[in-house]
Homo-oligomer: A and B are copies of this chain.
Amino acid sequence: MNDVALERIPPCSGRAVELGTADELIVIDPMGQQVSDLTAFARDDTAEYLSSGRSIDYASKLWLSTGDVLYSNRSRPMFTIVEDTCGRHDFTLTPCSKRMFELIYGETEGRPGCEGNLASALAPYGIGTDRIPIAFNIFMNVAFDAITGAVAVLPPLSRAGDSIRLRAEMPMVVAMTACSAGQSNNFSYKPIDFGIRRARA
């Protein structure tokens, strides 16, 4: 996708874009060790949304990569992962949020976090904070202890220039962030780049 113009999501912010069927979205970590929380809603009926629980169930694995399909709550394909140079993303945790920063990081007045930034980006589509689900947390590196179930948020494995390319399988509104949570991005609040190749010019 060298021919695709890239746009930059500044640190600790979010963006929404519309995709048509067969459009391709590339999400790039330009500096390394940054996370982008991505969520999606069907453009024609936003009650249909990207479902981690369906996607994990159908793939029979926690970590999705090249060739895997991301499903909606209605069990319809929303994305296919066409290319993935990193290989490790999380699909189990909700986006960082104002309340999460207060509870886990001890901030007296939590920042909006990815939840707030996704909600702001999706506000023009009538989608509020309550409807931000578990996101597809691109480049987020969450490890699990198979015996105890303990969860550890580790620095991302992504290096500068790593990317994931997703093909849209239906018309969607897609929102994504440059993550605000220190634990997720090794306390290196960086931007995220993305580009879209339209199937129809």
Residues of chain A having any CB pair with chain B under 8 Å: 47-48, 51-54, 56-63, 73-75, 92-94, 97, 99-100, 103-104, 130-134, 143-146, 148-152
Contact = CB atoms under 8 A, between A and B. Distances in A.
Contact of A103 (B62, B75, B99, B131): B75
Contacts of A51: 94
Nearest to A49: B130
Given A54-B100, A56-B93, A59-B151, 4 more contacts: A53-B133, A75-B100, A143-B146, A144-B146
Kindly report how many copies of this chain are found in the complex they form together. 2
A133 B133 CA distance: 9
A161 to B, nearest CB: 24
B94 A149 contact: no
A147 B161 CA distance: 24
A99 B73 CA distance: 10
